Amino acid sequence: MPRDHQTFHRNQKTPMTPRRRWLFAAGAILLLTALGWGLYTVIEPAFQTRIVITTGADKGIYRGFAERYAPLLKRDGVTLDIRSSSGSVENYRRLKDPASEYEVGFIQSGTTVPQETDRLQTIAAVSYEPIWVFYRDTGTVNRLAQLRGKRIGVGVPGSGLLEVSRVLLGYSGITRDNAQLVEMDAPKAWRCLEDGCLDAAFFIGRPDAPMQQTLLNSDLKLMSFAQADALVQKFPSLKKVTFPRASTSIVNDSPQADVTLLAATALLVAKDTLHPALVYLLLDAAKTVHAGEDYFTPLGAFPNLNTDEFPISNESERYFKSGRPFLQRYLPFWLASFIERRLLILLPFMAVLIGVVQALPRMLESRIKKRFVAGYRALKRLEDEIWKTTRPSAEQVSQWRDEIELIDEQASHIRVPTRYLHDVYALKQAISVVRHRIAMAAAGVREGS
């Protein structure tokens, strides 16, 4: 049998076996699953309604900030899950762990050495954190070097205060070799100062915080940093601030002179995977909580982006230039978030999907046409052979009849959608023409014999 006829036989579509049907169904399910998963990963983050934040001690300044953020975020349907910690250093460790559930936290400037691999970003600097040194000495202490040989409370492990106090004492020549550095929390340090088991202690927090109010209204003395300018030059993450005279009590004129303090900056830091819409909500909350004036900053000084500890969030830069995005001003959070961040991603995807859907019918049609082309090619070659053979033998005619019947049988087994049935019968009509040509050749053989 000629090769071309065999080719038509091989290319025809045979009825689908149960095994092929199973494979086809499995492939379709896998494709739909992949598309569904892709859409889920694109859309799901737009509807995140919970943020896990790592703060600090239960009654500390960071915890207070978070508790003031929570009701503001709740208005937009977002729950702030507040988790306590030992302080800034532990917050940093939690956030830089990509597998941790913590997404946002407070980090004190100057307490970490950020790495490029941390994948953290600053949302905003939100407040100064004054560093207070209270002492029992009967004389005046205005330099840390005067604490040589003393018992000094320096904070707890994992806190930013511990890191800062060690650095400041180190600049002044105070080490564990020439002083007793005791690690303890603020309430215990205050009690030890009162009881005499400490000579001095470092504290951190706003003047209106309960612990600071307790200390300021006690008989303990507050150190004024006479070397503040030099210390800030060596430790640029700190700022020089002034606690004004009579700030604790105007009636009692306490303190009786301006007190120079050093202050770290509280940074609101997030993983760079935090959804951008949530960054805007946090910035709104921070603006509401921190924009007021206090002892150290004028109205509107915070929040700001005056920090280089971590890379600044792109959303924060846009927020401080032009405010909240247009859609978020007028639409519910979830809807604005979806339109801004997800629909814009889905549009190109949908365009590609539409193109594929439009191409599928053409691909199917091309595949079906190929089945008919193979039949027509085999039929044409057979007809050409008949025309070229002017005096066929009986054996040739018999072979032609076998071939035309085989082509006809193969055409009858082509499985196509209903709308292509006219192509099947057009092929069978062409087969009839060639069959008639073979009959005429057969008649000529009989007449010749």
Mean pLDDT lowest among 227-231, 248-252, 401-405: 401-405
Q: Tokens representing 269?
A: 């830091």
Selected residue with higher pLDDT from 170 and 376: 170
CA distances for 206 relative to 42, 65, 211, 252, angstroms = 42, 11, 9, 21
CA distance 148 to 16: 91
pLDDT single digits (tens) 229-245: 999 999 999 999 999 99
Q: What b/e sequence results for 160-191 when a residue is b if at least 16 CB atoms lie within 10 Å of its CB, and e otherwise? A: bbbbbbbbbbeeeebeeeebebbebbbebbbe
CA distance 291 to 307: 17
Mean pLDDT lowest among 9-13, 71-75, 219-223, 259-263: 9-13
Q: Are 57 and 185 in contact (CB under 8 A)?
A: yes
**Residue 68 φ/ψ, nearest 5 degrees:** -80, -30
143: helix, strand or coil: coil
Per-residue pLDDT band at 13 (split at 50, 70, 90): very low
CA distance 305 to 43: 30
**79 Cβ contact partners less than 8 Å away, ≥ 6 residues apart:** 49, 50, 51, 70, 73
For the cut 50, the answer to whether the pLDDT of residue 89 exceeds it is: yes
Element at 445 (helix H, strand E):
helix 421-448
**Percent of the chain scored above 90 by pLDDT?**
50
**325 Cβ contact partners less than 8 Å away, ≥ 6 residues apart:** 280, 318, 336, 340
Per-residue pLDDT band at 328 (split at 50, 70, 90): low
- The overall average pLDDT reported for the chain is 85
Closest CA to 336 of 325, 345, 346, 352: 325
Domains of the chain, CATH where assigned:
3-39+345-448 (no CATH), 48-324 (3.40.190.10)
For the cut 70, the answer to whether the pLDDT of residue 278 exceeds it is: yes
Provide the pLDDT for residue 204.
Answer: 93
pLDDT single digits (tens) 293-311: 777 888 889 999 999 899 9
CA distances for 369 relative to 210, 241, 414, 434, angstroms = 84, 83, 11, 21
CA distance 33 to 275: 25
Instruction: State mean pLDDT over 20-42.
Output: 59
314: helix, strand or coil: helix
Per-residue pLDDT band at 440 (split at 50, 70, 90): confident
For the cut 80, the answer to whether the pLDDT of residue 35 exceeds it is: no
The 8-class DSSP code of residue 98 comes to T
Selected residue with higher pLDDT from 444 and 381: 381
Instruction: State mean pLDDT over 99-108.
Output: 96
pTM: 0.64
Total length of the chain: 449
Provide the pLDDT for residue 424.
Answer: 82
CA distance 39 to 46: 12
Distance of CA 112 to the CA centre of its chain: 23
CA distance 88 to 112: 8
CA distance 134 to 141: 9
CA distance 243 to 227: 15
Per-residue pLDDT band at 10 (split at 50, 70, 90): very low
Per-residue pLDDT band at 19 (split at 50, 70, 90): low
pLDDT single digits (tens) 57-69: 888 889 999 999 9
The 8-class DSSP code of residue 176 comes to T
Q: What share of the chain is helix, strand, coil (3-state, %, to 5)?
A: 55, 15, 30
CA distance 224 to 260: 5
